[in-house]
């Protein structure tokens, strides 16, 4: 049975999660998703002071728990069997936290912008000057 991590907001419980998402998961399974939400929000602890602080953090943890459950369950919204098979899933299209309405709401509550950056590819660039080139040894060829 999964127990809640000690850092999880006391208001984020399986009962609270079931208030915003319809699920038949056990409380122990929901605790696992709540713990995932906690670990996803660790970086936000000091970032939300300007927009609700701990209260905003707790609401984001609750929404992310529902997001993880939504992604896990992927409930069909509509099905078609008339000659061709087709399934449309309930929720939103997108990647990462944008893949569910709960994740999108969590992003909206995050005034730091950190959640919207999750999953983005990072690029880097180093600009070198002429002086840097003079300090480097010439490249060796395969024949040296």
Mean pLDDT of 46-72: 89
Please tell me the predicted confidence (pLDDT) of residue 2.
76
Mean pLDDT of 70-81: 72
Give me 127's structure tokens.
């600009």
Mean pLDDT of 81-99: 68
Residue 2 in domain: no
Give me 121's structure tokens.
């590819």
Residue 54 in domain: yes
- Those residues with Cβ within 8 angstroms of residue 91's Cβ, 6 or more apart along the chain or in another chain: 70, 74, 75, 77, 99, 100, 101
Neighbours of 77 (CB within 10 A): 9
Please tell me the predicted confidence (pLDDT) of residue 140.
59
Give me 92's structure tokens.
């939103």
Nearest-10 Cα torsion for 112, 10, 19, 52: -30
Residue 30 in domain: yes
Residue 131 in domain: no
H/E segment holding residue 79: strand 76-80
Residue 143 in domain: no
Please tell me the predicted confidence (pLDDT) of residue 1.
59
Residue 110 in domain: yes
Please tell me the predicted confidence (pLDDT) of residue 96.
82
Strand partners of residue 79: 87
Report the domain count for the chain.
1
Residue 114 in domain: yes
Q: What is the pTM of this model?
A: 0.71
**pLDDT for 132 beyond 60:** no
Residue 142 in domain: no
**pLDDT for 123 beyond 90:** no
Please tell me the predicted confidence (pLDDT) of residue 29.
95
Neighbours of 8 (CB within 10 A): 21
Domain span at 106: 14-119
CA pair distance 117, 121, nearest whole angstrom: 9
CA pair distance 96, 143, nearest whole angstrom: 49
Highest mean pLDDT among 64-68, 70-74, 100-104: 64-68
């Amino acid at each position: 049975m999964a127990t809640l991590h000690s850092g999880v907001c006391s208001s984020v419980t399986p009962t609270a999660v079931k208030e915003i998402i319809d699920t038949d998961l056990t409380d122990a399974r929901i605790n696992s998703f709540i713990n995932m939400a906690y670990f996803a929000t660790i970086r936000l602890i000091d970032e939300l002071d300007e927009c609700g602080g701990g209260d905003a953090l707790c609401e984001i943890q609750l929404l992310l728990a529902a997001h993880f459950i939504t992604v896990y369950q992927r409930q069909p919204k509509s099905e078609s069997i008339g000659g061709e098979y087709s399934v449309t899933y309930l929720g939103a299209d997108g990647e990462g936290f944008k893949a569910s309405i709960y994740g999108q709401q969590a992003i909206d509550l995050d005034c730091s912008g950190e959640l919207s950056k999750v999953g983005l590819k990072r690029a880097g660039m180093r600009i070198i000057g002429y002086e840097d080139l003079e300090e480097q040894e010439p490249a060796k060829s395969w024949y040296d």
